Amino acid sequence: MAGREIRRTFAVFPMGSVMKLTNFSARQIRYYEEQQLITPDRNEGNHRLFSLDDIDRLLEIRDYLDEGYSIAEVRDIYKRRKDAHRTEDAKARRLLRDEILNSGPFRQQPHKSNTFNK
């Protein structure tokens, strides 16, 4: 996580900007934070600071809402999305681990009982 990545997660936008960019009221934005849909940072004065990722998510939430989904349903959508991403991640790690274990200096010697004949 560096370079391009940190820029999307770097929180710098104040409430007022996010309100204009998303057309949501401060009340709604704070509520979505309570629902764990976004996780803005805070500055020295306890004022929220939003990242581009936060804004993207809010715009996405607006789309779901416009499509008729309830906030509870949107919350579930992200929960499922995260779970799917996790199992996918675990799968990738297992494959990588097996790859490392079965090649190079960590290669496991296939133990044959008959190394003589043949």
Residue ranges in contact with DNA by CB under 7 A: 14-17, 19, 24-28, 30-31, 45-48, 65, 71
Nearer to DNA, 9 or 70 (CB): 70
> Torsion angle, CA of 29/33/38/42, rounded to 10 degrees?
90
What CA–CA distance (Å, rounded) separates 85 from 77?
12
Give start and end residues of each alpha helix (H) in the chain: 4-9, 15-22, 26-34, 52-66, 71-101
Nearer to DNA, 4 or 27 (CB): 27
What CA–CA distance (Å, rounded) separates 16 from 66?
22
What CA–CA distance (Å, rounded) separates 104 from 48?
50
Closest distance between DNA and the C-beta of residue 72, in Å?
A: 11
Closest distance between DNA and the C-beta of residue 55, in Å?
A: 13
CA atoms within 13 A on the CB side of 46: 0
Closest distance between DNA and the C-beta of residue 53, in Å?
A: 17
Closest distance between DNA and the C-beta of residue 47, in Å?
A: 4
Nearer to DNA, 30 or 53 (CB): 30
Nearer to DNA, 12 or 92 (CB): 12
